[in-house]
Chains A and B, each alone.
Chain A
Amino acid sequence: MSDLELIDQLRNNDPAACKTLVERHGGLVFNTALGLLQHRSDAEDIAQEVFAYAFQSAGKFRGEAKVSTWLYRITLSKSLDFLKAKKRVKRFGFFQSIFESEGAKLAVDKPHFQHPGVLMENKERAQILFLAIEKLPDNQKTAFVLHKLEDLPYSEIAEVMELSLASVESLLFRAKQNLRQHLGNWYEQNKF
């Protein structure tokens, strides 16, 4: 059954079609959310929201893009909204941080996230890379995660993010520049 036939069955509220959609694209949704949020239980939450939304709004899907593109867009939207909400909570925490010690503040910059799919020999460096990815602006972070974690070509990233190919190339170029800077700073602070 093709993805479009699957969507047709979703519109008819067929539970078997819902299950097939999750089996086929669950990894895509979860992996993307995990790369952006860098927190397993948050990514699980978002993945559930994405599919709940997809089941309920299958009627709105016009079939102009691939089903995977549609799911990527929902995942990105929900993940980035979640990150914005988290930042608002952190701003409130600024008042708490006035009473915190210096040691507590420095602890925030320690590598904390391990992606389960990274090769064993790269795990330590990947942890540091994710710390740097966390500091990127949302659009650069999105493009980098889609390219490096989801292995999407530039053309597909452009389709998902609804940007031109040139814009995606520029985003990835700037993302890598910023990552090099963050990594360089981390190297200077921690290696010596």
Chain B
Amino acid sequence: MNQLDKEKWVEDTLESLKDSQRAQAPDGLFENAMRRVAYGRARMVRMPPAQVWSAAACALVLIVANLFMSLDFSHAGKKALNSKEMFTKEYFGASDAPQF
């Protein structure tokens, strides 16, 4: 690698904007600006698709986790009820069981 070549390339690149023209304003700039004034519309924030999908995946994981937890609690609740019935039958006998 020639150091002089590199330095020349760097200097030439640094000057690559020389004699460039100003970019022209897009068509409809006035109308769109007036529309913003009229409706006070906030600028839309464009989110990258990867970010949207990540957020959706996180939300899905939370919903599924919550569903599993609530199913587990209801299952545990049924188990507890069954245990209570069994205990009542054993202790009081089937005919003497108090009515709740």
Contact = CB atoms under 8 A, between A and B. Distances in A.
Nearest to A42: B46
Given A55-B37, A96-B50, A119-B19, 16 more contacts: A18-B30, A18-B34, A26-B25, A30-B23, A30-B29, A47-B25, A47-B29, A52-B33, A89-B48, A93-B51, A115-B17, A117-B21, A128-B13, A129-B13, A149-B17, A187-B6
Contacts of A183: 9-10, 13-14
Interface in A145-163: 148-150
Interface majority SS (helix, strand, loop, mixed), chain A: helix
Interface residues of A, number: 50
Contacts of B25: 22, 26-27, 29-30, 47
B47 interface: yes
A138 to B, nearest CB: 19
Contact of B13 (A31, A119, A125): A125
Interface of B: 1, 6, 9-10, 12-14, 16-26, 29-30, 32-34, 36-37, 43-45, 47-48, 50-51, 54
B34 A117 contact: no
Contacts of A187: 6, 9-10
